[in-house]
Amino acid sequence: MGESHNNLLRLTPIFVLICLLAIFGPVVLGAEHKVAVSVEKSGEAFIVDATVDVGVSQEIAWEVMTDFDHMTSILENLTASKIISCHGNIWIIQQEGIARYGLLSFPFESKREVRLEPMKRIQARTLSGTMKRMDDEATIISVGQGVQINYHVEIVVDSLLLRLFGLPFFRYEVEKQFQDMAKEMTRRRANFESFGKQKQMARQDCQHEMGT
């Protein structure tokens, strides 16, 4: 009886936390762009697939998804983001931020290698950071009057809380990030021509400074 009581006491905080998350967990309301997200657990990895349709050109979608030096103004969970080296279509990106889900928050940092296939595909893998492993790929496909963005990521975490709540947490994070990016793509559509020229100049300067 005593041992059962002690086990119950140990489980109570976790049960309370689960109940609180069920009540106060975030819900994305009034989103302009619907993101279809699926999350599953395979061994120690979380596997996330997402799709979103946006009424913009491939060029606009590409510019937003590769604008790493300004990504903190696009994604709410980022506090720092910069390109630290670029050699042709292989970039090294450093990012920091705080991911939030309900009452929980997860500070994170990452150094990632990003491989670009212009206007079509972005592949990235973690070199160092909070996540034990994170490999992802995004593709941009022209569909009708816009684009379809397909995203796949496999994540292995160290955090006990993320292992417990990873399914709803990663679903929310991916959905929110792609809604934020879709919103930015739509905003830039009107003034894309001038922004695109500025971004191209920035890329050329980066490559020149790195001796590429």
- Please tell me the distance from the alpha carbon of residue 17 to that of residue 146, in angstroms, as a whole number: 42
Query: Is the predicted pLDDT of residue 21 greater than 90, yes or no?
Result: no
Secondary structure of residue 162 in the 3-state scheme: helix
Residue 21 near residue 102, CB atoms below 8 Å: yes
- Total number of domains constituting the chain: 1
Secondary structure of residue 183 in the 3-state scheme: helix
- Please tell me the distance from the alpha carbon of residue 60 to that of residue 124, in angstroms, as a whole number: 20
Q: Name the DSSP class of 184.
A: H
Q: Whole-structure pTM over 0.85, yes or no?
A: no
Query: Is the predicted pLDDT of residue 164 greater than 90, yes or no?
Result: no
Residue 84 near residue 99, CB atoms below 8 Å: no
Mean pLDDT lowest among 3-7, 93-97, 128-132, 170-174? 3-7
Which position has the token pair 């090294």? 92
Q: pLDDT, tens digit, for every residue of 52-85?
A: 999 999 999 999 999 999 999 999 999 999 999 9
Q: What's the CATH number where 33 sits?
A: 3.30.530.20
Q: pLDDT, tens digit, for every residue of 150-163?
A: 999 999 998 887 88
- Please tell me the distance from the alpha carbon of residue 103 to that of residue 71, in angstroms, as a whole number: 25
DSSP for 24-72?
H-----S-SS-EEEEEEEETTEEEEEEEEEESS-HHHHHHHHT-GGGGG
Q: pLDDT, tens digit, for every residue of 134-153?
A: 999 999 999 999 999 999 99
Query: Please, which residues bridge with residue 98 across strands?
Result: 107
Reduced 3-state DSSP string for 3-33: HHHHHHHHHHHHHHHHHHHHHHCCCCCCCCC
Query: Please, which residues bridge with residue 122 across strands?
Result: 116, 138
**Domain housing 73:** 2-209
Which position has the token pair 């619907």? 34
Which of these, 186, 188, 166, 196, lies nearest to 99 by C-alpha position?
A: 166
Secondary structure of residue 200 in the 3-state scheme: helix
Element (H, E) at 182: helix 160-188
